[in-house]
């Protein structure tokens, strides 16, 4: 069965712009989580969506937002980009999201902010 897909894979933006990243979970998975990975901070949780509702949110500013559609596909948006937003953005899906056990990660979107 197909894995988690993320688009685009690479993105270059300039400071002040906004960006939207997309994630398609494994078929049947209803929970989608987003993460930011940087060399300095490691892998950090952004937020999780389940059945179109945000259930949990990490410690990131309000410039980071997301949504989930009825088919479980999810998007995350970053407004007013800063240089420090350059990172690998990963999404992960799981069946129920009762816990964060056994998440399946996509390949990530590499965002570079100039």
By the rule CB under 8 A, 58 interacts with another protein: yes
Q: Which of 19, 74, 108, 111 binds another protein (CB under 8 A)?
A: 108
Question: Residue 7 or 80: which CB sits closer to another protein?
Answer: 7
Q: Residue 87 contacts by C-beta under 8 Å, 6 or more apart in sequence? A: 36, 37, 38, 111
Distance CA(71)–CA(77), nearest Å, equals 18
Distance in Å, CB of 102 to another protein, minimum: 5
* Closest to 110 (Cα-Cα) out of 46, 37, 57: 37
User: Which of 13-21, 61-69, 72-80, 98-106 is the region at the interface with another protein (rule: CB under 8 A)?
Assistant: 98-106
By the rule CB under 8 A, 106 interacts with another protein: yes
Question: Residue 76 or 92: which CB sits closer to another protein?
Answer: 92
Measuring CA to CA, how many Å separate 61 from each of 41, 46, 80, 81, 85? Answer: 15, 10, 11, 12, 11
Q: Which of 7, 8, 43, 69 binds another protein (CB under 8 A)?
A: 43
């Amino acid at each position: 069965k197909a894995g988690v897909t993320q688009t685009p894979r690479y993105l270059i933006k300039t400071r002040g712009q906004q960006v939207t990243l997309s994630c398609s979970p494994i078929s049947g998975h209803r929970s989608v989580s987003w993460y930011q990975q940087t060399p300095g901070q490691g892998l950090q949780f952004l937020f999780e969506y389940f059945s179109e509702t945000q259930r949990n949110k990490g410690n990131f500013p309000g410039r980071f937002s997301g949504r989930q559609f009825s088919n479980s596909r999810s998007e995350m948006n970053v407004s007013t980009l800063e240089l420090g937003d350059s990172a690998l953005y990963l999404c992960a899906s799981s069946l129920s999201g009762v816990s964060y056990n056994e998440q399946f990660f996509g390949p990530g979107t590499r965002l570079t902010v100039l």
